[in-house]
């Protein structure tokens, strides 16, 4: 299949029916992954601090420094979590946190070194906003910062904080967060020094189809240059416990009804601008399928069972996804928004199987570690 242009993608996204889009994405997935393997990684999400100066509107996780719930994870706690992870068959930790004003690069270097000294575990950590914050505070260029972290033991970088790579949208939902260019810069520099990263997209807030395409295009263009992205992970905005979604108004993990009410037939995308309703199942699958079709140079697409639920993730496997992501031994960031899924490795394995695929445990580079006797 010829590469899709931005314009073609937009037309497709706006006018193709869901089943048609799904079929196209499914065919792309089949070509790229004909062996019918659906991979997953056993890892643990460790949030070292929930203090964050950014206060993004959609984030239910952060706290102010003086908040009674504010914390910095102790090393003992951290090591225990890692031990547990390894004993559960885990091969990786995903370590992320808020932008804490009191932590500097030395803290992170020490953190990484102390982990690597003790554990043979892959460290996937620090999304671009964190890397930039460290660099700025230490007055170092991004590249140098990454090199320091890499030497200290950081193996790869998660694609978080991308939200929608469109500055128009970022100004609305995360005004203090790094812009599109810096996000891409971190990834580019990481790839240049040989680190692999993932890329994410959080949609379903205030963006238009054009913004989604812009995001996909930015990823595709960088990938053409660096080939450093291992996977793309689209997920939808969870309006639970957040400013954008009406924090503390007792709405639960669902969009606000009075806003949805404004929607007229066939204007759902336009009114979503105001509505902030959670992206529905249809929206999620459309974006997922489009991502698979558009990102012809990104090998893997992850289904987000954490935000969508297991059944949706199963369906996602036929709409472009070939990976079930992480078993998420711990997921504080999304859980704080009122979405909580607890599943075990066994659950993931049989969820994959009952969707007609072969489950296989992988590492961060998508190398299969274990696919027999599962």
Interatomic CA distance for residues 241 and 335, integer angstroms: 10
Map residues 327-366 to x or -, x wherever contact with another protein holds by CB under 8 A. Answer: -----------xxxxxx--xxxxxx--xxx----------
Q: Which stretch binds ligand SF4 (CB under 6 A): 58-66, 226-234, 236-244, 251-259?
A: 58-66
Question: Considering CB distances under 5 to 8 angstroms, the limit depending on partner class, which of ligand SF4, another protein, none binds residue 15?
Answer: none
CA distances in angstroms from 129 to 132, 134, 243, listed in the order given = 5, 9, 20
> With respect to another protein, which residue has the nearer C-beta, 19 or 53?
19
Rg of the chain (C-alpha set): 20
Residue 210 touches which member of another protein, ligand SF4, none, C-beta under 5-8 Å by kind? none
- Using DSSP's 3-state secondary structure scheme, residue 36 falls into coil
Does residue 44 touch ligand SF4 according to CB under 6 A?
Answer: no
Phi, psi of 135 (to 5 degrees): -60, -45
Which residue number, 123 or 285, has a Cβ lying nearer to another protein? 285
242 vs 263: CA distance, rounded Å = 22
Provide the pairing of β-strand 358-362 with 368-370: antiparallel
* CB-nearer residue toward another protein: 118 or 346: 346
Burial of 254 (0-12, 13-18, 19+ CB in 10 A): middle
Cα angle 35, 37, 38 (rounded to 5 degrees) comes to: 150
Q: Which window, 51-59, 227-235, 269-277, 342-350, contacts ligand SF4 (CB under 6 A)?
A: 51-59
Contacts of 350 (CB under 8 A, 6+ apart): none
* Nearest partner of 198 among 180, 223, 178, 175, judged by Cα: 223
Helices and strands of the chain, counted as H and E runs = 16, 11
The CB-of-160 to ligand SF4 minimum distance in angstroms stands at 7
- Check if the beta carbon of residue 276 is closer than 8 Å to that of residue 259: yes
Query: Counting contacts by CB under 6 A, is residue 61 touching ligand SF4?
Result: yes
Residues 232-261 that bind another protein (CB under 8 A): 252-255, 257-258, 260-261
When asked if residue 182 is in the footprint of ligand SF4 (CB under 6 A), the reply is no
Q: Which does 339 bind (CB under 5 to 8 A by kind): another protein, ligand SF4, none?
A: another protein
User: Contacts with another protein: how many residues (CB under 8 A)?
Assistant: 51
Candidate segments 1-9, 52-60, 143-151, 272-280, binder of ligand SF4 by CB under 6 A: 52-60
56 binds ligand SF4 (CB under 6 A): yes
d(CA 217, CA 198): 15
Binding site for ligand SF4 (CB under 6 A): 52, 54-56, 59, 61-62, 98-99, 129, 174, 177
Binding site for another protein (CB under 8 A): 17-20, 22-23, 26, 252-255, 257-258, 260-261, 263, 265-266, 268, 275, 277, 280-283, 285, 308-315, 317-318, 338-343, 346-351, 354-356
């Amino acid at each position: 299949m010829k590469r899709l242009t931005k314009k073609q993608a937009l037309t497709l996204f706006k006018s193709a029916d869901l089943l048609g889009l799904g079929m196209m994405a499914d065919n792309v997935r089949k070509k790229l992954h004909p062996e019918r393997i659906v991979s997953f990684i056993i890892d643990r999400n460790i949030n070292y601090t929930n203090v964050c100066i950014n206060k993004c509107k959609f984030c239910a996780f952060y706290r102010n420094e003086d908040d009674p719930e504010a914390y910095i994870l102790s090393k003992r706690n951290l090591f225990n979590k890692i031990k547990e992870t390894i004993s559960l068959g885990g091969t990786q930790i995903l370590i992320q946190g808020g932008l804490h004003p009191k932590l500097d690069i030395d803290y992170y270097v020490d953190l990484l070194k102390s982990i690597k000294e003790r554990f043979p575990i892959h460290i996937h950590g620090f999304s671009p906003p964190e890397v930039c914050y460290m660099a700025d505070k230490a007055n170092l260029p991004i590249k140098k910062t990454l090199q320091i972290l890499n030497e200290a033991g950081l193996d790869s970088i998660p694609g978080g904080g991308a939200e929608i790579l469109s500055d128009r949208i970022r100004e609305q939902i995360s005004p203090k967060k790094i812009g599109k260019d810096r996000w891409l810069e971190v990834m580019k520099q990481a790839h240049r020094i040989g680190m692999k990263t993932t890329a994410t997209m959080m949609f379903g807030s205030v963006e238009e189809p054009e913004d989604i395409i812009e995001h996909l295009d930015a990823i595709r263009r960088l990938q053409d240059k660096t080939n450093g992205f291992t996977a793309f992970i689209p997920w939808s905005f969870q309006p639970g416990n957040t400013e954008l979604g009406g924090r503390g108004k007792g709405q639960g993990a669902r969009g606000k009804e009075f806003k949805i009410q404004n929607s007229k037939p066939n204007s759902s995308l336009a009114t979503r601008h105001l509505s902030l309703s959670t992206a529905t199942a249809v929206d999620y699958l459309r974006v997922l399928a489009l991502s698979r079709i558009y990102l012809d140079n990104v090998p893997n697409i992850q289904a987000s069972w954490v935000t969508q639920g297991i059944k949706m993730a199963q369906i996602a496997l036929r709409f472009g996804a070939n990976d079930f992501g992480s078993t998420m031994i711990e997921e504080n960031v999304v859980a704080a928004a009122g979405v909580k899924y607890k599943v075990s490795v066994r659950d993931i394995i049989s969820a994959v199987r009952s969707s007609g695929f072969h489950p296989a445990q992988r590492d961060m580079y998508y190398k299969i570690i274990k696919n027999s006797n599962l």
